[in-house]
Amino acid sequence: QITLKESGPTLVKPTQTLTLTCTFSGFSLSTSGVGVGWIRQPPGKALEWLALIYWDDDKRYSPSLKSRLTITKDTSKNQVVLTMTNMDPVDTATYYCAHSYYYDHAFDIWGQGTMVTVSS
């Protein structure tokens, strides 16, 4: 059974850097074809894809946020970490991590999400 869980601060100040961790079980990020992505959702708004890392350490970023994002993986800890620099109140959202397969690029299993508020 695949599960994912996001963790990180619930409140960050403007200009700070956000670090979120996705801890997963039921699969290995060293298995060919596997990926873990990050998606966010501002309150009452639509989903927005942020970044994804593949089993071979290939990384993809949303063009609009690429300069602010870094995604990394720690295969031994079954974790994926997303950092976002220069946080702004418009970045207030629920942040989800999700499992994906390279062959269909759909997000088949999602974490519960973690709400991050950006405010001074």
Partner 1 sequence: EIVLTQSPGTLSLSPGERATLSCRASQSVSSSYLAWYQQKPGQAPRLLIYGASSRATGIPDRFSGSGSGTDFTLTISRLEPEDFAVYYCQQYGSSHMYTFGQGTKLEIK
> Which residues bind to partner 1, rule: CB under 8 A?
37, 39, 46-49, 52, 60, 62-63, 96, 104-113
DSSP state of 75: G
Distance of closest approach, residue 45 Cβ to partner 1, in angstroms: 8
Nearer to partner 1, 62 or 83 (CB): 62
2 vs 11, beta carbon nearer partner 1: 2
- Of the pair 13, 66, the CB lying nearest partner 1 is at 66
Q: How far is the CB of 46 from partner 1 (least distance, A)?
A: 5
Reported as half-sphere exposure (CB side, CA atoms, 13 A), residue 101 has a value of 6
Q: In whole angstroms, what is the distance from residue 10 CA to residue 43 CA?
A: 14
Contact 4, 24 (CB under 8 A): yes
Q: Smallest distance, Å, CB 36 to partner 1?
A: 13
Q: Are strands 107-110 and 48-54 parallel, antiparallel or unpaired?
A: unpaired
To partner 1, the closest distance from the beta carbon of 16 in angstroms equals 26
